[in-house]
């Protein structure tokens, strides 16, 4: 996305992809493209959705901005404030909690010096707590981008943090780009 003085727009390649997704749906039903378009918008906007970006998405889909805000604020996969390059989502539902996600979360907090919803000073890491990641049989689970990490332990968390720090990135991609 390019931020100019008063507009936020997709580049021509991304706009072509967005229009292709919108065309999948009948006229009058283009709102059905909202989730994939929000994923693209978030990916193009440093991992978060500003109100300007959500307004732009609404204009592309010919829907009211509130319809975009409602969806973006409902799903934990969308970030409504700036986040780090690596967003660590820790599942907090029953099975993960019973298998130690609370202790795992405390470990991430201690290692990174931040609480859920915060980003490290260097902008590398953000921690989020989320509801069910649908991998209960392999709890506790974290998600980073499109990658799941199951049967997590503090030792596995340390290995991942070391890897992501050394690579200066997390290995996650937007499935739509």
Binding site listing for [2Fe-2S] cluster: 91, 96, 132, 136
Scanning the structure block, which residue is given the tokens 């649908």?
A: 134
Determine the Cα–Cα distance for residues 34 and 2; give it in Å rounded to an integer.
Answer: 20
Beta partners for 143?
89, 148
- Residue from 79, 137, 47, 44 nearest 56 by CA: 44
- Residue from 129, 100, 126 nearest 114 by CA: 126
Contact of 89 with 143, CB cutoff 8 Å: yes
Residues ≥6 apart with Cβ < 8 Å to 144: 86, 87, 88, 89, 160, 164, 170, 171, 172
The phi, psi pair for 72, rounded to 5°, reads: -65, -35
Please enumerate, by residue number, every residue annotated as part of a binding site: 91, 96, 132, 136
Residues ≥6 apart with Cβ < 8 Å to 121: none
């Amino acid at each position: 996305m390019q931020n100019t003085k008063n507009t936020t727009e997709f580049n021509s390649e991304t706009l072509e992809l967005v229009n292709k997704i919108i065309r999948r749906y009948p006229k009058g039903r283009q709102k059905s493209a909202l989730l994939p378009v929000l994923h693209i918008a978030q990916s193009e906007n440093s991992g978060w959705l500003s109100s300007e970006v959500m307004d732009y998405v609404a204009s592309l889909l010919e829907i009211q901005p509130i319809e975009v805000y409602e969806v973006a604020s409902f799903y934990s996969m969308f970030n409504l404030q700036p986040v780090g390059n690596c967003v660590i989502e820790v599942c907090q539902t029953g099975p993960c909690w019973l298998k130690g996600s609370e202790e795992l979360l405390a470990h991430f907090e201690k290692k990174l010096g931040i609480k859920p919803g915060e980003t490290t000073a260097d902008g590398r890491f953000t921690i989020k707590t989320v509801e069910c990641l649908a991998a209960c049989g392999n709890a506790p689970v974290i998600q980073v981008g499109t990658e799941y990490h199951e049967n997590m332990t503090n030792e596995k968390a340390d290995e991942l943090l070391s890897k992501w720090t050394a690579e200066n990135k997390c290995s996650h991609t937007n499935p739509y780009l």
